[in-house]
Amino acid sequence: MAIVHDDFLRHPVPSTPYKVVGSIPFGARTSAILTRLTEPEGATTDAILIVQREAAERHAGGPYAPETLRSLLLKPWWQIEIGRRLRRTDFDPPPSVDTVVLWLARRTRPLVADGEAAAYRRFVRESFGRRGRTAGRCLSADLTRRQVRRLSADLRFDASAPPSHLSFDQWLGVFRLVAAKQ
C-alpha cells in the first residue's frame, strides 16, 4: 500500500488495480476527479471519498436523488452508494456545504456488454440530453408512440414525466429494447 499526497489530476495513476480513499476538493474539481477515477479503461477498483452531498447525489442518482446523465453513464460499470452523512463540525474549519461519504465500486460483471458500451453511452446522451422534454418525447427518436406506451406500462414509468424520473433500471430496459431493434 502506498499513500500519495499529490494533485490527483496531475499524478500518474497506476496501471494495475488500485483503490482510492480520500477527501476531495468541493466544487468544480470534484467532477473532474470522479471522471478520472471512473474512466472505462482505468484501473480503479474502489473509491471511498468524502465529497459535497450535491456532487454525490449527481453521481449516484437513484435512490438518493433523481437520475442524472452522469449517474446513468456510470451505473452499468459502477456500484455507487452514498454512505454516512458527515457533520460540518467533523471538519476544521467546518465547510459551508453538507458532506457525505461516497463509495464507488467497479462492477466485476458490467450490466452493459463491452460491445454495447458505446451504443449505450450514445443512447443515454442523446435521449436524456433532450432538455425540457418528457421521457416519451426523449425516446421518440428511437421508438414509436405505441412502443413508448407499451414500454412505459411494462417498465412502469410515466412517459409524460421528465427523463430524470426514470430509474436506472428503466433506462437500462429501454436501452435493451432499442438495441435489440437494431
Angle, vertex CA 177, rays to CA 166 and CA 147, nearest 5: 75
Domain boundaries, the chain: 18-106, 114-181
**8 SS3 class:** coil
Q: Which three cell numbers stand for residue 173?
A: 430496459
Q: pLDDT tens, 13-34?
A: 888 999 999 998 888 789 999 9
Q: Which three cell numbers stand for residue 148?
A: 413508448
Q: Omega into 94 within 30° of 0, i.e. cis?
A: no
What average pLDDT does this structure show over 153-175?
A: 93
128, 69 Cβ separation under 8 angstroms: yes
Q: Which three cell numbers stand for residue 71?
A: 449517474
119, 179 Cβ separation under 8 angstroms: yes
- Residue from 18, 16, 49 nearest 33 by CA: 49
* Residue 63 in this model has a pLDDT that exceeds 90: yes
- Residue from 41, 61, 40, 37 nearest 49 by CA: 37
Which residues are CB-contacts of 153 (< 8 A; sequence separation ≥ 6)?
Answer: none
Task: Quote the radius of gyration of the chain (alpha carbons, Å).
Answer: 18
CATH fit for domain 114-181, picks 1.10.8.100, 1.20.120.1200, 3.40.50.970, 3.40.50.620: 1.10.8.100
- Residue from 103, 47, 62, 57 nearest 80 by CA: 103
User: What is the pLDDT at residue 65?
Assistant: 94
The domain made up of 18-106 has a fold known as Rossmann fold (3.40.50)
pTM: 0.89
CA pair distance 68, 167, nearest whole angstrom:
10
pLDDT band of 130, cuts 50, 70, 90:
low
What average pLDDT does this structure show over 53-79?
A: 95
- Residue from 57, 53, 59 nearest 36 by CA: 59
What average pLDDT does this structure show over 122-132?
A: 79
What average pLDDT does this structure show over 146-153?
A: 92
Specify the higher pLDDT residue, 150 or 129.
Answer: 150
* Residue 132 in this model has a pLDDT that exceeds 70: no
